[in-house]
Amino acid sequence: MMKDFNHTNPTPIIDADLCNGCGLCVTACPHNALGMVDAKAVVVHPQACEYDGCCELICPVQAIDRPFLIVMREDVKRDG
């Protein structure tokens, strides 16, 4: 699932095999970033996505997942 992931401007990953086309995520997204394509949910407007996770939360089949990158703040990295 992660191989096509945009590491620079990430959007939620939707597993097309799991997606049942219910459209709840499209309705739930407050930024209209999602749409239905061939009866499957797709991030149609990635630039509108705010990564707030409404789609992930509402999906009844857990088809949506948001990857997170864990980093250290520059000035608190330990020396040595």
* Binding to other proteins, residues 23-42 (CB under 8 A): none
Pairwise CA distance, residues 53 & 31, whole Å: 11
Site string for other proteins, 7-26 (x = CB under 8 A): x--x--x-------------
Q: Does 3 bind other proteins (CB under 8 A)?
A: no
Phi, psi (deg, nearest 5) at residue 36: -105, 130
Q: Does 73 bind other proteins (CB under 8 A)?
A: yes
Alpha-carbon distances of 36 from 1, 32, 53, 74, rounded to whole Å:
19, 11, 18, 40
Q: Does 68 bind other proteins (CB under 8 A)?
A: yes
CB contact at 8 A, 33 and 45:
yes
Q: Catalog residues that contact other proteins under the rule CB under 8 A.
A: 2, 5, 7, 10, 13, 50-51, 53, 56-57, 62, 65-73, 76-78
